[in-house]
Structure 1
Amino acid sequence: MDDEHLDGDSADDGPVGPPADLTRIKGMDLVRRTLEEARGAARVQGKNVGRGRTSPAPRRVAGNSRRRWSGPGPDGRDPQLLGAATSDLARSRGWSGRVAEGSVFGRWRSVVGEQIAAHATPTSLNDGVLTVSAESTAWATQLRMVQAQLLAKIAAAVGDGVVTSLRIVGPVGPSWRKGPYRVPGRGPRDTYG
């Protein structure tokens, strides 16, 4: 066996060097050309080009770092308002929808007004359907007539899409059930007869 063919190189392979179009370019022009090719390849892959460091800064050990002051401008370490901090927390954890649903119940009196809130209370919110319990049949009928205005007020207060429709129920009649078990009755009778 020949020593030339041990490495898998064939005899017609010459020395590997830069492409022919780069042999004429020297110095800084070669560096610029290579940088432009790298930027073009990054653009093709959809990456940001020319933005400097995109990876997070390396973490420093607490004992070795010096204290840095925030300076005259606003900084992420500056004190924040409690409402802004909690809304940022809810947004970052994906709780925004649940917080909006809870605010329907928490802000009910200010959203619908004192008069309606005195006679109707929200009881549940499932899949965008808010169930409202009225204290009398007359109030349930009245709320059904102003249902569109109530939905508009709720959407303005807590955001669109949180409450998509209202289910308004009247008062519930008395129940004579006692305990967890139930036996079918004899049917409707004259209870108060």
Structure 2
Amino acid sequence: MDGGAQLRGSDLARAALEAARAAAKERGRAPGGARRAGAAGGGVRRRRRSWSGARPDERDPQPLGRLAARMATERGWVDRLAGGQVFARWTGLVGANVAEHARPVALRDGELTVQADSTAWATQLRLLQRQLLARIAAGVGDGVVKRLRVQGPAAPSWRYGPRHIPGRGPRDTYG
């Protein structure tokens, strides 16, 4: 081709491609981008990634549950997730009758705090403590809940507003 002034459109693109190929040849590269076998730089060709084949491979699609379990194990979340199972499956773990009158409040260092509706139910839960711990261990695993702390119903607070005078609270002040 004569000069750059006469080339237009596809002719100009063809000339630019030929110039790039010639420059790559001078540097020791093959037209496809891989290095030639005898050129400086070793000449090692990378093997193309192949399909995984008939056997399972890490590149195969994985079920979401398996991936989540592996990620929880790698990041050390297993204990916290097991603790969350106690709250999520409370009715199934302790039974509908107990779950109707008691609810889990907190789980810290293996101690599960449970709040009962009444003092009678708090006493009943203290008596059933061993059976409840066995049911929870069977449902979510050993070592998740080691102790059970039962609280009765919360007493009403007589503190209203931002200002408070210390004392025993409302009482009969006549007489």
Counterpart position of 1:133: 115
Counterpart position of 1:92: 74
RMSD: 2.1
Counterpart position of 2:105: 123
Counterpart position of 2:50: 68
CA drift at 1:148: 0.2
CA distance in 1, matches of 2:169, 2:158: 14
Q: Percent identity?
A: 61
CA drift at 1:190: 4.2
Work out whether 1:114 is the aligned partner of 2:111. no
**Secondary structure at the residue paired with 1:175?**
coil
Counterpart position of 1:170: 152
**Secondary structure at the residue paired with 2:105?**
strand
Work out whether 1:103 is the aligned partner of 2:85. yes
CA drift at 1:144: 1.0
**What aligned pairs does 1:139-158 form with structure 2 within 5 A after superposition?**
139-158=121-140
Runs of 4+ in 1 over 6 A off after TM superposition: none
Can you give the 5+ residue segments of structure 1 that lack an aligned partner in the other structure?
1-63
Counterpart position of 1:43: none
**Secondary structure at the residue paired with 1:68?**
coil
**Secondary structure at the residue paired with 2:61?**
coil
- What is the TM-score of this pair, normalised by structure 1? 0.60
- What is the TM-score of this pair, normalised by structure 2? 0.65
Contact 2:158/2:169 (8 A) holds in 1: no
Evaluate the alpha carbon distance shift between residue 66 and residue 90 of structure 1 in structure 2; reply closer, same or farther with a 3 A threshold. Answer: same
Alignment length (residue pairs): 128
